A and B are shown apart, each in its own frame.
Chain A
Amino acid sequence: MCVLVRTGRRLFSIVALAAGLAVGAAPAFAEATLLNVSYDPTREFYKAFNAAFAAHWKAETGETAHVNMSHGGSGKQARAVIDGQDADVVTLALAYDIDAIADKTGFVAKGWQARLPHDSAPYTSTIVFLVRKGNPKGIRDWGDLAKPGVQVITPNPKTSGGARWNVLAAWAWAEDAFSGDEAKARGYLRAVFRNVPVLDTGARGSTTTFVKRGIGDVLLSWENEAFLAIRELGPQAFEIVVPSVSILAQPTVALVDANAARHGSRKLAEAYLAYLYSPEGQRLAARHYYRPVSPQYADPADMARFPQVKLVTVGERFGGWRAAQQRFFADGGVFDQIYPMR
């Protein structure tokens, strides 16, 4: 019944508005709800985390907290929030997508990234290669992706956060490999994307394409998504290749101030985000293949699964996400130039 009331609530609000009535004192809403609009590969993590948080919140306040989830490509999800998706918190793949919400709507307060520790990134990840068992195409590093006859699967950088990390990681390698020759780096990236047969809108779509549909030789994947694919769909079919260098991917989280204020859910939302940094939140992140910012709270066995990778950061290499977004992914940017087939 409760669920029905919740689904009907938004509809109610219209009816109530039309009739000029206040829905008012409705005891049915003793349950506190949040909407977390997230990106693709976090599904399994937040499923576990939401349950842990609900138990924590119940113990703390006696209140039942229910967190609703929406998943999709990070850029797409950000645009949905800009377009009116009623998120209380956003947990997206990269800071720029939250910047975009702040810039375009003001729903998220400026300076949001300083409100939480570690630049509002409670866990990090990186980009690795998922290849078919035995690595038949002999893919060892970024350079191999540009070889003719290698099919590369990545989502669309216009809609997916993971794909933007993919591009920046590849660029970072190319800059080093070609000693900073930008024309050669562009040529390299163009060759890589010429090898891309399909651009899904989100990371999960790409994983499905590679894993279920059997398309492509290598999937550029979030580390956690690659681990998950192997766990869910068979270690006998795939293996992970760790490139010589990759990028420190920092998925960021933020309170959507305007929506939380409207729902009166600010306190709950803040507690929810803070809990991501708690020992339990960190432990769950590591369990679901995210690299926790406080590894001391994670199971050592979980930590042992993460391979050692040389990681560059967006801050030091690309001057932060705003600069990177402008240079690579804005209309007419590097990506549009090297991938003209839209």
Chain B
Amino acid sequence: MAQAAHRGTPPRVIPGFGLTLGVTLAYLGLVVLVPLSMVGVEAGGLGWAGFAAIAAEPRTLHALAVSFGAAAAAAAVNAVFGTLLAWVLVRYRFPGRRIVDALVDLPFALPTAVAGISLAALYAPNGWIGGLLAPLGVKVAYTPLGIGVALVFVGLPFVVRTVQPVLAEIDAEVEESAAALGATRAQGFVRVVLPLLAPALLTGFTMAFARGVGEYGSVIFIAGNIPMVSEIAPLLIVIRLEEYRTDAAAAIAALMLAAAFALLLALNCIQAWHRRRVGAP
């Protein structure tokens, strides 16, 4: 392997190419690619007609709609409040700022199941927040709204952590010149800062969205899991598996994987754009 690598290219000074690439490819193949390809094999066993029939089942379509819809809504909420939080963290000095900054990453560190039962306890009609909302007739836990709440929790750090460094880099001079040209503060933000933030914001949004689409642990405790209402696609996969309709589970998984690939591709494109923006002197 190492010899093969030398052929055609100038000899490498640093050794270990064959070993490390070999380990990387073998590991990636065994742990990721071969197992993932099983989804295609299993779903492929259905044939096109069988696959299409499962994909077109109303329950499948609805579960996918719930997953993608709730993830998009939660990512949108996070885009607004995540940017606000990043702004506050970058621009303002206040006591406890470092703690708040560290706390933003809580959703990365807190197991999703813990978040799930905790949110369910909070938003249930007898919970701290649910108790306040119940008299207003607002039900969060065990409704699609609950899914949104869980996904906001899960997705928040993605937006904050992508926007924060870019915001820190934006030079005050740009804003100052905008102000000098007679722009109001709000205009300055919308016309000057926001365009500069756009690629980072879109990256954060897409990451939060991608994570939300596949999220399971935090959602199942707080969603009602009612078919055609608040059943998410990953849960439907589990249910199909438990019904031993493995092929149907694989078919839904294949649809979700296709979406994941598309999002990954989109993310790469956005990041290339991002680099062009930020990288430009």
In the complex, which residues of chain B have a beta carbon less than 8 angstroms from the beta carbon of A79? 242, 244
**Max chain B C-beta neighbours (<10 A), residue from A156, A209, A214:** A214
A215 touching B243 by the CB < 8 A rule? no
| Interface bits A43-86 vs B (CB < 8 Å: 1, else 0) | 00000000000000000000000000000110010010000000
Q: Which of A186-211 contact B (CB under 8 A)?
A: 197-201, 209
Is A212's beta carbon under 8 Å from chain B? yes
In the complex, which residues of chain A have a beta carbon less than 8 angstroms from the beta carbon of B239? 156, 159, 201
Count of interface residues, chain B, beta-carbon cutoff 8 Å:
17
B125 touching A198 by the CB < 8 A rule? no
In the complex, which residues of chain A have a beta carbon less than 8 angstroms from the beta carbon of B228? 341
In the complex, which residues of chain A have a beta carbon less than 8 angstroms from the beta carbon of B142? 213-215
Whether A215 touches B58, Cβ cut-off 8 Å, given contacts A79-B244, A159-B243, is: no
Majority DSSP secondary structure for residues of B touching A: loop
Q: Number of residue pairs across A and B with beta carbons under 8 Å? A: 41
Distance from B115 Cβ to chain A, minimum over Cβ atoms (Å): 18
How far is B245's CA from A79's CA once the two chains are assembled, in angstroms? 11
- Which of B12-20, B27-35, B83-91, B219-227 sits within the interface? B219-227
How far is B124's CA from A200's CA once the two chains are assembled, in angstroms? 19
Is A288's beta carbon under 8 Å from chain B? no
Is A10's beta carbon under 8 Å from chain B? no
Is A291's beta carbon under 8 Å from chain B? no
Whether A213 touches B224, Cβ cut-off 8 Å, given contacts A73-B242, A159-B242, A201-B239, is: yes
Distance from B69 Cβ to chain A, minimum over Cβ atoms (Å): 19
A198 touching B224 by the CB < 8 A rule? yes
Is A266's beta carbon under 8 Å from chain B? no
A198 touching B226 by the CB < 8 A rule? yes
Distance from A105 Cβ to chain B, minimum over Cβ atoms (Å): 13
* The one of B57, B59, B124, B243 that contacts A212, using a Cβ cutoff of 8 Å: B124
- Can you list 26 A-B contacts (CB < 8 A)? A76-B242, A76-B243, A79-B242, A79-B244, A158-B243, A159-B242, A159-B243, A197-B229, A198-B225, A198-B226, A198-B227, A199-B227, A200-B225, A201-B239, A201-B242, A209-B225, A212-B124, A213-B124, A213-B141, A213-B224, A214-B125, A214-B142, A215-B226, A341-B58, A341-B228, A342-B59
